[in-house]
Structure 1
Amino acid sequence: MSFVPALLVVAALVALPVAAGPPAREDPPAAAAPAPAAGPAEDEDLVQFAADELVYDERANKVVATGNVLLRRRTEVLTADRVVWDRTEGTVLAEGSVRIGSERGEVLVADRMMLSDDLKDGAIENLLLVLQDGGRLAATRATRTDSVSQLERAIYSPCAVLDDAGCPQTPLWAVSAVRVRHDPVERRVHYRKARLEAYGVPILVLPAFSHPDSSLRNQSGLLGPDLRLTRELGVELAIPYYWSISTNQDLTTTAHIYSKELPLLELEYRHLTEAGPVRFALRGTYSEKITTDDDFEIVRTGEKGFRGMVEGNGRLDHATQDLRSSFALRLTNDPNFPGRYQFTFDNRFRSTYLLERQRDNLWFGARAWYFQYLAPDADSSLVPTALPLVDVMWRPDARPLGGRVMVEANALSLFRSNGQDMTRMLASARWDRSHVTSMGQRITLTGLLRSDFYHVRESDVADQAFYAGKDGVRGRFIPAAALDLEWPLIGPFARGVQTLVPRVMLVASTSGSNEGIPNEDSRALELEDGNLFALSRFPGYDRWEGGARVVYGVSWDWTRPGIALAADLGQSYRFVDEAQFVPEGTGLEDPLSDIVGRISLRAGRLASFTQRFRLDKDSLAVRRSDMDLSLGSGRTFASIGYLRYNRDVRLEDLPDTEEVRFGSQIALFRYWAVFGAMTIDLTSASEDPLTRNDGFQPIRSRAGFVYQDECFDFRFTWRRNYVNNLNAPEGNAFSFTLRLKNLGQ
């Protein structure tokens, strides 16, 4: 018989039914009638056919399909030019442009295949196995048993085998082997008698190894090594091993081997628990302690011992839906360890824990803070520990007098091993109401009532006398009121829309409320555009800006498609003098404040510019300048930053400083890019008498290049520290990173 209806009638009578699918061409030689419905037990064995022509040999019990053949069974799909299905033997012979695809995204391509009729077993000649991510396995011959492929004389590479013009090319790297096995269930590729090749040239012999086939990432095995060269440590080789403990937790063990120091071991554990993610890292070694001599040169003390650091962070949701906690941990038993082994150059470690509860209009948070100062001259006995720090914020639904109310409470216990200790409790209620007049002015009324309680101990040994309180129990009551008037004026300008907003604010509060109160959280006082219109310009709770004052300023912005320009300018006048609690040079020490402002420009995604400044009220000298400029996007970009504090503050923790920093990356060709960055300290002795710089002192720089394509990633980085100290030794460092896709990732 050579017609399709007869084939369908026969197929309906046998145990393994055949369903004819839609033909591959729009002009089929015959119309296919629907196959009989199969029962639930038969659905798994249902074979669906589609072809230009189907021939059923009733005597031989064979189905021959030719022309754009498509055969589907379960999750396997086969396409070919010609397929012969021997139903007696249970085999399928496919010839001509044969392809088998699976739901996992893998595709097997060959000239000729002899398969079982479930498409899982068989023999294949001249095959190509395309994996889920595009990696390829090619072989002269292969067998397939239960979807597991055994390849002979095979080669694997995730690199492109065709150039941009579509012509064949030798892959950048490949692994060839006498025998290769790919298990789609295990999702690994195993090699025997293999070798690594670069552009077809053997460079490494590999008797036996395996790697994931890219469809599964969390599999145990060696990761790609890193190579680095530094003056203090010599040659460093980092060899990481990744252990997939389960689908939601893993452990990475890295051995750091140095030519000038004893080895270092690093452990990183990650666990995605039902409550949330957690991570811990431990680094340690046995080494000799270092210090600095009178000339600030690094010397060894001869004292040996274990040195290391621990890090951790996590976020956990507790059984109660609105209760959760988070933590961050950074500790070291040697303040020189993090910088000496170049894990981090931070000179301050913070460890914290937060337990919080969030509801629609209520937030509760309880924190604990622990600090470690790693600077060589840091006195750890003066470093505070905060335990506990409690905050509560509640916004009731009620709207008294048409306004909104915010109730806040705070409690803090802060202690030192040798220094001022403090306990603080406070509560406040703030009321705000805004109204827009018929002429467009927005008027905001604010009222505040706050009560504080302090218990101060050992204030005579405070780290700074200016910040010290008075021993004993003290309290204060702070009322405040404010009237804020804004008048937005909007109109067209230069093919865009501009908005001009004059603003005036009147604030009144009690004065003299800082007497005898310690200052622990309000030290970093700096008048700027962000706090100009605040009820109190002091950060934190310990200092309150009392008395009466007027604040005035203007904001202007202009926008058009792709461009946005904005500017702010403002100043304040205080009617009551409270300069004894305001450090000189902060812009608020006199009744008339300095002038602060900000200019920002954004041009689409290609450029952004921000300039913040503070000008002396008398001479208009620049007391603070903070500029950031970024250009480009994607693989080519540049950024420049400039910061200058010219405040003449007579406090050690608020020194004047000036620095410039810049960084860039430039894409070269399709896969190459070069990058660089540098930080320069421009502070001179006239600005900071304690500095050892001459007005132009590079701090650190880095430069390098990167090559990255679809299968290969190589990076070279040069770093240099110009200032010699225990946490960042002076000298050069060179690092090399090589990654082959699917090998050691």
Structure 2
Amino acid sequence: MDAGYFMIFCLAVWALLEFIFSVFFKIYMLLRLLLFFVSISVLIAKTVEANELESKCNASTTEQRCDFSKVEKQLEEQESRFWFKKTFDQQREQVFMRLRTEFDQDPWSACRLRLGTQPIFSVDKQMRAQTPMDIFASSSEMFDAEFISLSGNVDLQRADQHLMANQADYNQASGVLDLYGDITYSDGGMALNSTSALVNMQEDSSLLRNVSFIIPSSPIRGSADVVYRDSPTFSRYKEVTYTACEPGNQDWMLHASKMKVNDETGRVAVKHGWLEFKSVPVLYFPYGSFPIDDRRLTGLLTPTIGLSGRSGVDIGLPFYWNIAPNYDVTLAPRYMTERGFMFGADFRYLWHRTTGKINFEIMPEDKQTETLRWGGSFLKRTQFTDHLSMNINANYVSDSAYFSDLDGSLGLNNRNRYLESNGSIAYNLPWLSMSARIDNYQNIDPGASDQNVPYRRLPQLKLDMFKSFDGLPLDMKLDSEYVYFQRHFPDGRPQGQRFNIKPEISFPFVSQAGFVEPKVAMQHTQYWLDSETTSGAVSLSKTLPIISVDSGLFFERDFESLTHTIEPRLFYLYVPYTDQSDLPNFDTSLYDFTASQLFRDNEFNGVDKTQNANQLTTALTTRLVQDGRDRLKLTVGEIFYFADRKVNLIGNQPRTELFSNLITEFSSEITDELKFISSMQWSFKENEVNRGNADLRYRGLNNNAIFNIGYRFQQRQLEFGRFAQNQVVASAMVPIYDGWSAIGLYRYSILDKKNLEYFIGVEKDSCCWRFRVIYRQFLLSTDSGGFAGAEPQNSIFFQLELKGFTSLGEKVDEFLLDNISGYRKPTY
């Protein structure tokens, strides 16, 4: 039997058993589901009334009065819909509102705090032991010096503990305390209300009836018909209901006929439980178990569900196995309707000074490629001492299309073209760094050529030192490296050894008015090439002095609330010319030419090439600063060349331009919510703009609205590894109503006249649940940077998170962070 069909068969058997146990419950659920659609019209009709209520609450004199009015209004509407009668009636909700005020901070304020300190709730047992108890009551009686009776506004206080009741009877002989009436208890970690309580002080046990409770640290609230507290660490509940929604909101509820809470094991067990969402039962389970704290527990994790054009419906059912306190494993069976069954395992371990992770997944046969596909990784970090550490990061997949086919469509286009594996050992001191490293690369872009895969380093040895002298304008630095470079397969390119050393000395003179920093360095690079891979000399070298002077001035003037600054900067660089055309290029490329490149001592980002230079960089930055924010910032910079530049990545074709591109960067924080960023490069050689971008970004501080629009333009410049580009991109997150927001992105290529990517979705975020659904279509670029012949890829993903309980579907936070500027992960 095909493994995928076997998995479906197992799921069907489980569903059948669940149906047998809950047939009557299912019938009830279906009836309520039919009536759910009827309620939609009622909800729409109530929207105007809800807005009127909100405006009245905003004008209310006290926040508590507004909260109560909201609760009452919501409950009146809920009770009018008899087919969706809420679990908690108006009286119970008012109890929760009263319990909410028992805390110094609102337990649900965290979901409304976008920035700032989150509320903290804790219990100080030491303070309780040192604080005497204060007892207040309207009247008291004592019988036979053993029985004490208190009545009328009974109030007991000790440290953070507070107990109120209508009547209290205490038997000193048996140690039993009986409480009656409207009982309210609160401390730093919880608050509860009950109609009666029986507390055995000697056995430290209790029995409570008709209980309402709030646990602020989660925060959660709930009720139970009966609570048996058998010991300080074990309690039992009958007919219990709980939710993470704040008082007045009953969007989701978890019900159970019986529940056991074991604080020693950190586990909760429930029987005959069901989950209710928007008053509609959506899930029944005859038995369930889940953790109540951060301790790891064996059990099923939340399933994942997705839909994409490449793999079809994608279902995952992960299982977590807590093998021991210091290691565990997650088993992840997965089925894709268009590809087949896949199995994965993720093993983690923790030893003394060592952490590690082993991941492996395999698909016995891909229905589309009819091949075995698999991938694995091994991560390890060991901190031998405070200064000595070791890291291993080994990765491998069966083919270059592995991630694009099987890793889901949310992460595509956000991954490097090469999968890196490396291992290193390092010794670090404040003034010294030594390391040994090996690395390897694998092509994971099906549109890229294997010829461009970087060299292996087997090994790379580095020794770097830095020393500054207190009281003296003197810094000394040494960079040194030895590497053996190897190709993955014979392709005619050279391989061999490289040694590079670069001592450097600088004299920084710094003051509040400006700085001057002369610097002198000497770079020597030596090669020993394998004779089998080169027809020329096997021993090559270059030695070059590098001389530079960096300087700048700071001028500023205050204008009421603004400070205007002018910051001119000059940077002179001299490097003599040495023919480097016969030297191999193992890992060197050109830096992207930006404002920061104006002040580098080498335009190449590796040591295989060292530019010849006789040039002066001039730059000017001016700002208008208000309260630490750059309300306006303008930077203009350019390099003046006094000699032809003859060193290139390939050959010695001289570049004779007298000027570099003129770089202009302009930005403005127009308001605290609106920001503009732009840059442009003017080419004197082409007499045109060859690169530019502009972005307007808005992020609302109060409404969480986000809007971004940008433009990207660049000419084809292969020496920088850049392809021609002419694109517009817009993204937004727009609040609609009551926590609902629309999210989307659109990316269009004017050059290709194609939609490169777009996604659109909706998000609902409240204090107790979060829902997202996203539809995405995109094109995969080829190795040449174009999109000719590319077929659109489609995918749909959703996520439903019941805060304080579970999450279903794909987690899309990282995807939104990468694609919508200004988006932040929800902190609650």
* TM-score, length-scaled by structure 2: 0.72
1:435 aligns to what?
509
Quote how far apart the aligned CAs of 1:729 are: 6.8
Deviation at 1:476, TM superposition (A): 1.6
Shift of 1:230: 1.9
Residue 638 of structure 1 pairs with residue 716 of structure 2: no
Check if 1:479 corresponds to 2:545: yes
CA RMSD of aligned residues (A): 3.6
Equivalent residue number for residue 406 of structure 1: 477
Percent identity between matched residues is 17
Match of 1:539 among 586, 591, 605: 605
CA shift digits 1:363-422 (9 cap, x unpaired): 223322211112335443663212222332212345898421111112222110223213
Q: Decide which of 210, 213, 228 is 1:126's aligned counterpart.
A: 210
Alignment partner of 1:55 is 2:140: yes
Change (3 A) 1:507 1:564: same
Q: Which residue of 1 aligns with 2:527?
A: 454
User: Partners in 2 of 1:577 and 1:339 — Cα distance?
Assistant: 45
User: CA separation in 1, counterparts of 2:288 and 2:738?
Assistant: 32
Instruction: Classify 1:589/1:94 alpha carbon distance in 2 versus 1 (closer, same or farther; 3 Å).
Output: farther
Preserved contact between residue 513 and residue 546 of structure 1 (Cα < 8 Å): no
Distance 1:377 1:44 in 2: 70
Q: Distance in 2 between matches of 1:698 and 1:154?
A: 53
- Within 5 A, what are the aligned runs for 1:460-499? 471-492=537-558, 495-499=561-565
Cα distance per residue 1:530-574 (max 9 Å; x no partner): 111222222221111124222222222221234432222222233
Moved more, 233-242 or 184-193: 184-193
Counterpart of 2:264 in structure 1: which amino acid?
V
Select which of 73, 79, 94 maps to 2:179: 94
Paired residues for 1:564-579 under 5 Å: 564-579=631-646
Q: Distance in 2 between matches of 1:525 and 1:540?
A: 9
* In 1, Cα distance between equivalents of 2:239 and 2:523: 81
CA distance in 1, matches of 2:306, 2:257: 35
Rounded Cα–Cα distance in structure 2 between residues aligned with 1:681 and 1:498: 39
Distance 1:402 1:114 in 2: 78
SS of the residue 1:325 aligns to = strand
CA contact (8 A) 1:663 1:677 kept: yes
The 5 Å alignment of 1:314-713 reads: 315-318=381-384, 320-343=385-408, 344-345=411-412, 346=415, 347-380=417-450, 383=453, 384-398=455-469, 402-416=473-487, 417-418=489-490, 419-435=493-509, 440=513, 442-457=515-530, 471-492=537-558, 495-561=561-627, 562-579=629-646, 581=648, 590-603=657-670, 605-633=672-700, 635-649=704-718, 653-683=721-751, 695-713=752-770
CA-CA distance at 1:350 after TM superposition:
1.6
Q: What corresponds to 1:716 in structure 2?
A: 773
Contact persistence 1:76–1:119 (CA under 8 A): no
Give the deviation of 1:125 after TM superposition. Answer: 1.8
- Work out the CA distance in 2 between the residues paired with 1:177 and 1:587: 80
Q: 1: distance between equivalents of 2:755 and 2:650? A: 30
Answer yes or no: is the 8 Å Cα contact 1:54–1:63 preserved in 2: no
Q: Measured at CA, do residues 45 and 666 of structure 1 come closer, stay the same or move farther in structure 2, by a change above 3 Å?
A: closer
Distance 1:559 1:375, change over 3 A: same
Distance 1:414 1:483 in 2: 34
- Determine the C-alpha separation between the residues in 2 that align with 1:670 and 1:448: 63
Amino acid at match of 1:434: P
> In the alignment, which residue of structure 2 is the partner of 1:224?
302
TM-score normalised by length of structure 1: 0.80
SS in 1 for 2:366: strand
Stretches of structure 1 that go unaligned for 5 or more consecutive residues are 1-23, 25-42, 164-170, 291-299, 462-468, 684-694
* Letter of the 1:211 counterpart: F
Q: 1:725 Cα deviation (Å)?
A: 8.0
Q: What letter corresponds to residue 705 of structure 2 in structure 1? A: T
1:269 matches 2:318: no
SS at match of 2:404: helix
Shift of 1:340: 0.7
**Deviation per CA, 1:495-535, whole angstroms, max 9, x where unpaired?**
52222223333322221252422223332344321111222
Contact 2:402 2:444 in 1 (8 A): no
Structure 2, unpaired ranges of 5+: 1-101, 103-127, 808-828
The DSSP-based 3-state class of the residue aligned with 2:403 is helix
**Secondary structure at 1:263's aligned position in 2?**
strand
Deviations 1:31-81 (A, max 9, x none): xxxxxxxxxxxx989994522357352416112234554557999864433
Counterpart amino acid of residue 637 in structure 1: I
Distance in 1 separating the partners of 2:259 and 2:291? 13
Query: Counting helix residues as a fraction of each chain, which structure ranks higher?
Result: 2
Q: State the 1:360 CA deviation.
A: 1.7
CA separation of 1:457/1:137 partners in 2, compared to 1, >3 Å: closer, same or farther? same
Question: Do the aligned residues in 2 keep the contact of 1:385 with 1:415 (CA within 8 Å)?
Answer: yes
What is the deviation of 1:261? 2.2
State the partner residue of 2:99.
none
**Larger % of strand: which?**
1
Contact 2:657–2:685, Cα closer than 8 Å, also in 1: no
Distance 1:605 1:271 in 2: 46
| Offset at residue 174 of structure 1 (A) | 1.8
Equivalent residue runs for 1:200-239 within 5 Å: 200-213=279-292, 215-216=293-294, 218-239=296-317
Q: Distance in 1 between matches of 2:719 and 2:380?
A: 40
Following superposition of structure 1 onto structure 2, how do residues 31-42 of structure 1 map, counting pairs within 5 Å? none
Q: Distance in 2 between matches of 1:116 and 1:304?
A: 68
Kindly provide the amino acid, as one letter, of the partner of residue 616 in structure 2: V
Residue deviations 1:662-708, cap 9 Å, x none?
3222223342222112333444xxxxxxxxxxx22223322211223
The residue that corresponds to 1:141 in the other structure is 226
CA distance in structure 1 between the partners assigned to 2:349 and 2:768 by the alignment: 29
Conserved? CA contact 1:459–1:470, under 8 Å: no
Cα pair distance change 1:231/1:96, threshold 3 Å: same
Letter in 1 for 2:626: R
Residue of structure 2 in register with 1:166 after alignment: none
